[in-house]
A and B are shown apart, each in its own frame.
Chain A
Amino acid sequence: MARRKRRAPQEGDFQDPLKNYDGPQRVDDLERSLIEAKVGDMKIQPFATVTPQTSVQRTLEEMAKLNIACVLVVEDDRLLGIFSERDVLMKVADQLEQLKDRPVSEVMTPKPVYVHRTDSPAKAVNLMAVSGFRHVPIVNVDDKVVGVLGPRRVTAYLRNHFKN
């Protein structure tokens, strides 16, 4: 059976379905920045890490000394968990004597939600709001921890947009 010869494409054959699509309109610079910037461009450092074997007491001392709200629990550059002020309140405060020599891995929040440094700030903020975690670790393409984003850093970011 003879094959039908294929007609060469002519000018005007292709109708672009997105020809009249303008994309979402960002009304102001804050919206544009939240959607189009990268989390990695925000202040995500410094951050503190401990190993899973670090004792609860040592971890608390580190948090108090640095005046920080959380530490990331990391082993071989791999994020295992996060230990935050909320973990102290909910798991440690009323039984510190029994827990102070235990490893922090027993009281940390394992497998925390995280974002990649190339994600948008809007995604990070939404994740914080929806998941209820105030601190979101930031990882690079190799899943290595490169920072942490907390509400204070987000507030400072927002505040910068109101200074102008």
Chain B
Amino acid sequence: MGLRQDILSDPVSVLELRQLIAVKPGTTVRSAIKLMHQHRLGCVVVVDDNNQPMGKFSERLLIKLLVTDPGALDQDISEHMASTWAIVKQSDPIAKVIECMEADKLRFVVVVDEHGHPVGITGQKGVMEYIAEHFPRQVKVQETEAKLYMDQREGA
């Protein structure tokens, strides 16, 4: 099968899911940033007492906060979270992840099991890695000084 058909038929569960960082309302933005920093992850998901997602806080929101109100880092994260997020099931096709990200301009989607409980997140990075596995010979490592041509001809 080709890549297009694979994306339409392979389930989300074949993607490498990232650990979901969940925080409760009441957590400060600063604490959430610390968790994102520790896990090298671009967002945290704010969940209610039943572990149901209520919103998310991302790097994009962090930049806006740093510019408009740096003092807000010590405020409750639920005052600064975005309420736009997307949920996909583990059994959904990978195409749905692409669809959700593109439709709502998201970087991450929350992955839930059949009972609706969050099991991880995936997003642009997960899809990139999935595609990269189809084209393993395309990578070349280079330095920024590398050039396509030589400045001077070689030899005599």
Contact = CB atoms under 8 A, between A and B. Distances in A.
Interface in A103-125: 111-114, 116, 120, 122-123, 125
Interface residues of A, number: 51
Interface string A2-26: 0000000000000000000000001
A89 B59 contact: yes
Nearest to B131: A125
Contacts of B152: none
A94 interface: yes
Contacts of A67: 60
Contacts of A116: 148
Nearest to B130: A129
A162 B95 contact: yes
B50 interface: no
Given A125-B132, A152-B124, A162-B98, A63 B5 contact: no
Given A88-B66, A90-B37, A93-B62, A28 B42 contact: no
18 contacts: A27-B4, A27-B5, A28-B2, A30-B4, A67-B60, A85-B63, A86-B40, A86-B59, A89-B33, A94-B37, A96-B66, A113-B142, A113-B144, A125-B128, A126-B138, A154-B124, A158-B98, A161-B4
Q: Nearest 5 A-B pairs (CB), nearest first?
A: A27-B2, A151-B124, A28-B2, A129-B132, A85-B59
Interface of A: 26-31, 34-35, 60-61, 63-64, 67, 69, 79, 85-86, 88-90, 92-94, 96-97, 111-114, 116, 120, 122-123, 125-130, 134, 141, 143, 151-152, 154-156, 158-159, 161-162
